[in-house]
Chain A
Amino acid sequence: MGNLTIEYKLNVSLVLLLLAIPAIALMLDEPFYITLATKVVILALAGVGLNLALGLGGLISFGHAAFFGIGGYIAGILASHSLNAELMFTLAGTEFDGTTNMLVIWPLALLVSALVAVFIGYFSLRTKGVYFIMITLAFAQMIYYFAIAWPAYGGEDGLSIYVRNQFMGLNTLDPIIFYGICFALLMSVLLLVSKLKNSHFGSALQAARQNEQRLAAVGIRPFGIKLTAFVISAMITALAGALFADLNRFVSPDMFSWHTSGEIMIFVILGGVGRLFGPVVGAGLFILFEYYLGGLTEHWALFLGLVLLAVVLFARGGLVGLIAGEVKHD
């Protein structure tokens, strides 16, 4: 582990690049780049969440939009109650009107998504292979159609957040400050995931992917390991959802749609499944594509499809795999 691998160097360069983006954007006099980079960082965070389940655990969840949307709606619903001073619920005589404080929104998003993930995971993890893909999709679709049909929080139209939520008295509407918050969160989560990956839990999870019988034979129940990974993965994606809601100051049922699940999966695959910084590379590439090709032609999705197809058929380790080579086993 001592000598620096290409992947390690790549990761360090990515961190430095992300750090330098506000300065670069100001130098080029293109402040919009900061918002673009914020989007990359947030979507990368969603991908990091999925990568934990998919890359390490081999759990192909086609329903992570559910958690992304839950995070978004928690932020949206709390903020809308608070901004409209509407009573949300009364608990033990205290009235609760929602909040615009990110430090309350995030833990709630984590908590709710964890509860939902325990429920979804408990049932989904009984199935395997294609059935797992489909049952996670079904749960996400349930929430999607529910969000459309339920009129209380905007239904099909979604919910607007008129003022970005608050973080420790900072001016979150300043793009650089909001970028900084998202960047710091992404880095903390990446650190956490890399620690997790090298922990006993991480080894057990990867063993569960490779051979469940052997894992069971050494006395570890794969189900508990996989469920834990699924829940942590969902919580990370939900946190990204809450940030995404604040970025756009808007949430809509689209956050729950299966296209969102597909896109989060694309970030992971484009970058490289199971690679720590894979989702960062994937999300960055996706947004660059959307922005530059979207500016050139309205048919950018067609070209994205061609690139994606080429990556799946010919570059199986994703982009990080192309640059850093196969995973080395030491």
Chain B
Amino acid sequence: MTAILLFEQLLNGLQFGMMLFLMSAGLTLVFGVMGLINLAHGVLYMVGAFACAIIAGLTGSFWLGLMASLIVAAMAGALIEVGVIRKLYQRDHLDQVLATYALILIFSGATRWLFGAFPLYLDVPEILSTPVNLFGLLDYSSYRLFIIGIGITVALGLYFLIAKTRLGMRIRAGASDREMIAALGVDIRTLYTLVFALGAALAGLAGALLGAVQSVEVGMGDSVLILAFVVIVIGGIGSIKGAFIGALLVGLVDTMGRFLLPYLFALVLPPDTAASVGGALSSVAIYILMAVILIVKPKGLIAANG
């Protein structure tokens, strides 16, 4: 194990964290502003990936596909919000969990019906397909660096949107007192649809970006959804800053755990046992992290609404 290898793993963890942030930002906004648990968020990730793969396949341009993922996911999000989600704001969490679980079944089933069970093909764009040399030390995937770049850009953009714009002010107001902002004459229904579509677009973007390195298939959003929930619970539900910190924590702990734990156990255990114990423990590391954080701080690292 060398310092260079460690550095490479750190970058991988950072990239994973950025992807998780794109996924969690919408989830945490929707919970913070509308008080809704949305299990169907993973579906939007899948929709984005499919849109990107199909448009990129038709036009031959990954970038057009990426645009399409944003637009199609935002439209799907708006559609879901107006058709179903809107009726759930006044319901308890149980109804929300069930109804959005039903949405997963519906969207996954419909996608499988339309596109079949086989994965679609989506390739990394040519310009990002060659590794770049970092500081003369290692060759690193330029596509992964691109994802890190997008993550940082989105984080800054969201910060600007929430902190500096009128829309952001309304979102913050909506998160802290829903009735009051409606009473002040803000069109709360449109605001909710906008917030939902924004979160959906980011999830779609994450799906498209990751679709190029993993496979584009039905059910691809499931495991990411659970990870995004871990992220927002760790960060404190409703807080974008919390989602950012949580995403980086989960990304780094997961990646570094998988890398380091087998080495660490090999110091005290025979190699075979070390590999299996290390492997088993590293795959649950983030859930242990989440449980510990919740036990110490039951509302996550950054409690959004006091």
Contact = CB atoms under 8 A, between A and B. Distances in A.
A145 B283 contact: yes
A133 B294 CA distance: 12
Contact of A305 (B106, B230, B284, B288): B106
B42 to A, nearest CB: 11
A130 B92 CA distance: 10
B159 interface: no
A64 to B, nearest CB: 13
A129 interface: yes
A127 interface: yes
Nearest to A151: B276
A145 B112 contact: no
A329 interface: no
B93 A60 contact: yes
B99 A313 contact: yes
B298 A127 contact: yes
B89 to A, nearest CB: 13
Contacts of A129: 93
Interface string B101-127: 111111011101100000000000000
A138 B291 contact: yes
B216 interface: no
Q: Which of B31, B93, B103 has the most CB of A within 10 A?
A: B93
B109 A142 contact: no
A298 to B, nearest CB: 8
Interface in B277-292: 279-280, 283-284, 287-288, 290-291
A83 B178 CA distance: 61
A131 B294 contact: yes
Contacts of A151: 276
Contact of B93 (A127, A130, A308, A313): A130
Given A60-B93, A309-B99, A149 B283 contact: yes
A162 interface: no
Interface in B172-217: none
Given A131-B233, A308-B102, A60 B84 contact: no
A138 B233 CA distance: 10
A299 B113 contact: yes
Contact of B98 (A135, A259, A308): A308
Interface string B215-247: 000000010001001100100010000000000
Given A123-B291, A150-B276, A130 B37 contact: yes
Interface stretch (A165-173, A235-243, A262-270): A262-270
Given A134-B229, A309-B99, A60 B105 contact: no
A225 interface: no
A146 interface: yes
B105 A305 contact: yes
A264 B275 CA distance: 34
B291 A145 contact: no
Interface in A122-140: 123, 126-131, 133-135, 137-139
Contact of B94 (A60, A141, A258, A309): A60
Contacts of B229: 134, 137
Contact of A309 (B102, B222, B237): B102
B87 interface: yes
18 contacts: A123-B291, A126-B298, A131-B233, A131-B299, A133-B93, A133-B97, A142-B284, A145-B280, A151-B276, A259-B222, A269-B94, A269-B98, A299-B109, A299-B113, A306-B102, A309-B106, A312-B98, A316-B95
